[in-house]
């Protein structure tokens, strides 16, 4: 009777990576388990677009940020990234009150701004 697990490697452990891991470790190399995913790459690209836009235009509303990062990116993609940036302290969200000069009505605007990096 054979000790094979059905995957053709015959080691019976089911993963087939044991001998590969041993060979790589003998060479002083390791397998990297967590390569960047497409989601990670996309998030970094969106993060860079947000930072670049807020660097050029220091105070923007959400709708103007949408124009700045590109209308090809739907809010469902960039808003979660923006929220993480706010939580991390990279972006500051504030409010500005201003009186409309024509209607004399006071309005409140939500404003985003890039926070300087603290060394």
57 half-sphere exposure, CB direction, 13 A CA radius: 16
pTM, full prediction: 0.64
CATH code, 38-114: 1.10.10
Q: pLDDT digits over 55-98, tens only?
A: 999 999 999 999 999 998 899 999 999 999 999 999 999 999 99
Higher-confidence position of 106 and 2: 106
Name the one residue in this structure whose structure tokens are 């300087």: 116
* Maximum separation of any 2 CA atoms in the chain, in Å: 91
Point out the least confidently predicted range of 6-10, 19-23, 99-103: 6-10
Residue 33 has pLDDT above 90, yes or no: no
CA dist 61 and 56 (Å) reads 14
């Amino acid at each position: 009777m054979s000790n094979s697990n059905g995957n053709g490697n015959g080691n019976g452990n089911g993963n087939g990576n044991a001998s590969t891991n041993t060979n790589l470790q003998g060479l002083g190399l390791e397998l990297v388990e967590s390569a960047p995913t497409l989601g990670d790459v996309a998030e970094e690209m969106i993060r860079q677009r947000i930072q670049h836009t807020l660097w050029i235009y220091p105070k923007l509303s959400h709708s103007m940020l949408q124009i700045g990062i590109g209308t090809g990116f739907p809010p469902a993609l960039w808003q979660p990234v923006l929220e993480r940036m706010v939580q991390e302290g990279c972006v500051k969200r504030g409010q500005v009150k201003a009186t409309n000069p024509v209607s004399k009505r006071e309005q409140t605007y939500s404003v985003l701004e890039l926070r300087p990096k603290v060394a």
